[in-house]
């Protein structure tokens, strides 16, 4: 047992050291340094350089000054470690100074125009680099196509080093500073982001911060028993602690990767693996993990990334006897990330991946004074949209949109019809129960419907992580396949194809009507259908999400100007809608938005108003012609698609049709 007196003495020494460190930190605080804006000296070169450097320093110090106290407070709350905090601050400065001149200029521009991403000109597209264009250079050569799609924000799906066959689509990173060899190099990435910036295209990438691959150097050292590295993960030498966690922690992949721990026979330890067994959860209780991951984040931001998608963020803090999701410390970390980015790279946006119910999502925006993420996925709206397709009943969707519309207008949502992941049926089941729909039976119906088995469905796709115990399953398929394009094409049924295209286009028109930033999955602009070839690849066969992650079909994309083809039709209609959205200011993110009762269960009506402009959107989710019993008598309206006058009073809408009616 340790001698009490020695412990006390040691405590005293640490206390004194801590006090000294605090003193040093205080002395280093920018206001003490005297953050004075330097005069511009325009004489000889060396003086110019000194003046420039002083100005750079001044900018950094100003930002630090603004945020230092809060950052320190939060850091101490989690870690109580002064020297690690000092190290973090030194590195913030280092990453700031390393930032390229063009990026720093962008930082300044966006700092003075903080709402730059809230306008109506943003349209995103997400893709896997290899599927889209082979490699990074290939993407660069396809930027003209991206522009043709009216897209000015590309999400490059995970491209960092990851072990083949144990990569979870790139979400198991083995080196945060290396690009997968087949896709290119860090230099290629910098060239690509620079080329994008020249064209006004923003680049988004994933920051997979909850876990590393088991092949990451930290994991390798931990596996060999190095205690310092083991403490960066969750290691247990027997099943007791894991069994306690398992009591309260739900499963992410109940079928493809059951359980939250993996036994490592060679290391004689269990390691926490919330996702796949080869994705080891990082332990953010260790300040070394936080600091190093922040350096990785800034290193990547400095490659010219505009939007950092914080992958699986609700999971990053673990506590026994909790679900290990959305814990308060997660928000402390996200807030610190926001502060860090505002100090080092304020042009960068944080996009939080919180695939959960609305009351869990919204807190990730933080508050107006202390914001966290700039953007979040509108995930419940997305899932509710497909529920509406399957039921032809807009009641729940209307309610969901009302919830979103009632949120502060500063919040920016990323709107989408689908992404690279499955569609989980996270709906408001309490409301559905009032309509007589039970959760389990309704999920069953939705999954049957989208597989094409029930409800007069034309959809095609596959289940994901069907859990025989809970009866739960999620769904995978491309937008076009879920709308009936695949089935109609297979059956060579022109009439069915027209119907499928109408549904597909109507869904996009409705998605564009929502506030925020719409993001397309690459291939959706030409109605690409499911890709079943993943089943032939043993590394992918067990994961049905690959069904909707197929390679871009460039020969079909060659048809975009041919109006008789499926691709030409979908591309043309979307092009028209995208241009309207960018042209009409009523689509800005902070416009007033509301829903209107149409007295027809299948017709959704959305109103938008901004600075004297008003638009009424009508969307028929049924395969039958309908009438929207609305009565907007405040003036004359024009249909933005046909250019014809049409009053928003008792409007007849064809099957799967829609209108954008603008007040004159």
- Binding-site residue total for ligand GLC (CB under 6 A)? 10
Strand partners, 615: 608, 662
Nearer to ligand GLC, 534 or 659 (CB): 534
Q: How far is the CB of 264 from ligand GLC (least distance, A)?
A: 20
- Answer yes or no whether residue 421 interacts with ligand GLC by CB under 6 A: yes
Query: What is the Cα–Cα distance from 224 to 209, expressed in whole angstroms?
Result: 22
Report CA dihedral (387, 389, 392, 394) to the nearest 10 degrees: 60
- CB burial of residue 28 (10 Å; 0-12, 13-18, 19+): middle
Which of 159, 171, 449, 534 is the binder for ligand GLC (CB under 6 A)? 171
Nearer to ligand GLC, 82 or 353 (CB): 353
Q: How far is the CB of 522 from ligand GLC (least distance, A)?
A: 16
- Answer yes or no whether residue 375 interacts with ligand GLC by CB under 6 A: no
Q: How far is the CB of 275 from ligand GLC (least distance, A)?
A: 4
Helix (H) or strand (E) holding 499: helix 494-513
Residue 584 DSSP class: -
Q: Which residue is nearest to ligand GLC (CB)?
A: 171
608: three-class secondary structure by DSSP: strand
Q: How far is the CB of 388 from ligand GLC (least distance, A)?
A: 24
- Answer yes or no whether residue 169 interacts with ligand GLC by CB under 6 A: yes
- Answer yes or no whether residue 79 interacts with ligand GLC by CB under 6 A: no
- Answer yes or no whether residue 275 interacts with ligand GLC by CB under 6 A: yes
Q: How far is the CB of 310 from ligand GLC (least distance, A)?
A: 10
Q: How far is the CB of 208 from ligand GLC (least distance, A)?
A: 5
Which of 130, 168, 188, 525 is the binder for ligand GLC (CB under 6 A)? 168
Query: What is the Cα–Cα distance from 88 to 343, expressed in whole angstroms?
Result: 12
Near ligand GLC by CB under 6 A, which window of 163-171, 220-228, 326-334, 336-344? 163-171
- Answer yes or no whether residue 208 interacts with ligand GLC by CB under 6 A: yes
- Answer yes or no whether residue 311 interacts with ligand GLC by CB under 6 A: yes
Query: What is the Cα–Cα distance from 130 to 549, expressed in whole angstroms?
Result: 11
Nearer to ligand GLC, 169 or 455 (CB): 169
Nearer to ligand GLC, 545 or 662 (CB): 545
- Answer yes or no whether residue 472 interacts with ligand GLC by CB under 6 A: no
Nearer to ligand GLC, 302 or 465 (CB): 465
For 313-328, b/e burial (b = at least 16 CB within 10 A) is: bbbbbbeeeeebbbbe
484: three-class secondary structure by DSSP: coil
For residue 353, indicate whether it is catalytic.
yes
Closest C-alpha to 172, from 274, 323, 290: 274
Query: What is the Cα–Cα distance from 357 to 365, expressed in whole angstroms?
Result: 14
Q: How far is the CB of 269 from ligand GLC (least distance, A)?
A: 22
- Answer yes or no whether residue 504 interacts with ligand GLC by CB under 6 A: no
Q: Which of 215, 311, 531, 584 is catalytic?
A: 311
Beta strands in 242-371 (DSSP E): 261-264, 269-272, 279-281, 307-310, 349-352
- Answer yes or no whether residue 312 interacts with ligand GLC by CB under 6 A: yes
Q: How far is the CB of 422 from ligand GLC (least distance, A)?
A: 9
For residue 311, indicate whether it is catalytic.
yes
Closest C-alpha to 464, from 543, 383, 354, 355: 543
Closest C-alpha to 545, from 383, 427, 423: 423
Query: What is the Cα–Cα distance from 584 to 641, expressed in whole angstroms?
Result: 13
What is the secondary structure of 411-466 as a DSSP string?
Answer: -EEEE-S--SS-B-----HHHHHHTT--HHHHHHHHHHHHHTSSSS-----EEEEE
Nearer to ligand GLC, 246 or 421 (CB): 421
Q: Which of 168, 353, 567, 584 is catalytic?
A: 353
- Answer yes or no whether residue 161 interacts with ligand GLC by CB under 6 A: no
List residues with catalytic annotation: 311, 353
Residues that bind ligand GLC (CB under 6 A): 168-169, 171, 208, 275, 311-312, 353, 420-421
């Amino acid at each position: 047992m340790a001698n009490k007196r020695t412990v006390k003495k040691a405590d005293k020494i640490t206390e004194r050291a801590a006090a000294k460190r605090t003193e040093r930190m205080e002395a280093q605080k920018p206001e003490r340094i005297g953050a004075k804006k330097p005069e511009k000296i325009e004489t000889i070169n060396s003086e110019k350089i000194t003046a420039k450097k002083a100005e750079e320093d001044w900018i950094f110090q100003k930002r630090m000054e603004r945020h230092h106290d809060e950052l320190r407070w939060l850091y101490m709350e989690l870690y109580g470690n002064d020297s690690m905090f000092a190290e973090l601050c030194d590195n913030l400065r280092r990453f700031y100074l390393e930032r390229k001149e063009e990026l720093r200029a962008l930082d300044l521009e966006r700092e003075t125009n903080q709402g730059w991403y809230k306008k109506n000109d943003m349209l995103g597209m997400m893709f896997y680099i290899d599927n889209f264009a082979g490699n990074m250079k290939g993407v660069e050569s396809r930027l003209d196509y991206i522009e043709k799609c009216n897209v000015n924000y590309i999400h490059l799906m995970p491209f960092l080093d990851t072990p083949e066959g144990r990569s979870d689509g790139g979400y198991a990173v083995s080196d945060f500073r290396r690009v997968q060899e087949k896709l290119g190099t860090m230099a290629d990435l910098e060239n690509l982001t620079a080329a994008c910036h020249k064209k006004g295209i923003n680049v988004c990438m994933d920051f997979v911060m909850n876990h590393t691959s088991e092949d990451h150097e930290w994991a390798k050292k931990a596996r060999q028993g190095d205690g310092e590295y083991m403490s960066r993960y969750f290691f247990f030498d027997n099943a007791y602690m894991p069994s306690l966690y398992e009591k309260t922690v739900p499963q992410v992949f109940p079928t493809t990767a059951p359980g939250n721990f993996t036994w490592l026979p060679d290391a004689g330890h269990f390691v926490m693996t919330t996702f796949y067994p080869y994705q080891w959860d990082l332990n953010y209780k260790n300040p070394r993990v936080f600091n190093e991951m922040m350096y990785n984040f800034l290193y990547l931001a400095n490659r010219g990334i505009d939007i950092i998608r914080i992958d699986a963020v609700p999971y990053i803090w673990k506590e026994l006897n909790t679900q290990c999701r959305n814990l308060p410390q997660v928000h402390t970390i996200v807030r610190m990330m926001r502060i860090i980015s505002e100090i080092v790279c304020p042009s960068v946006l944080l996009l939080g991946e919180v695939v959960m119910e609305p009351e869990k999502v919204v807190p990730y925006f933080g508050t107006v004074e202390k914001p966290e993420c700039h953007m979040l996925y509108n995930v419940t709206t997305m899932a509710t949209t497909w529920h509406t397709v399957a039921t032809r009943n807009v009641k729940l969707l209307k309610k969901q949109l009302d919830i979103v519309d009632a949120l502060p207008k500063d919040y920016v949502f990323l709107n989408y019809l689908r992404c690279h992941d499955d569609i989980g049926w996270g709906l408001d089941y309490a409301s559905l129960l009032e309509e007589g729909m039970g959760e389990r039976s309704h999920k069953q119906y939705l999954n049957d419907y989208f597989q094409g088995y029930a409800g007069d469905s034309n959809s095609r796709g596959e289940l994901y992580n069907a859990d025989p115990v809970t009866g739960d399953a999620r769904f995978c398929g491309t937008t076009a396949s879920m709308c009936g394009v695949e089935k109609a094409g297979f059956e060579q049924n022109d009439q069915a194809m027209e119907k499928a295209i109408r549904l597909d286009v109507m869904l996009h028109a409705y998605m564009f009507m929502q506030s925020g930033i719409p993001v397309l999955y690459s291939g959706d602009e030409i109605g690409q259908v499911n890709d079943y070839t993943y089943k032939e690849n043993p590394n992918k066969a067990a994961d049905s999400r690959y069904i909707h992650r197929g390679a871009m079909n460039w020969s079909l994309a060659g048809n975009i100007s041919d109006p008789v083809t499926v691709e030409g039709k979908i591309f043309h209609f979307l092009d028209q809608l995208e241009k309207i959205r960018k042209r009409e200011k009523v689509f800005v993110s902070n416009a007033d938005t509301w829903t209107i009762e149409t007295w027809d269960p299948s017709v959704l009506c959305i109103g938008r108003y901004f600075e004297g402009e008003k638009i009424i959107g009508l969307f028929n989710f049924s395969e039958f012609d309908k009438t929207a019993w609305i009565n907007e008598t405040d003036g004359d309206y024009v249909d933005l698609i046909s250019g014809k006058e049409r009053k928003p009073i008792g409007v007849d809408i064809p099957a799967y049709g829609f209108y954008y009616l603008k007040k004159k």
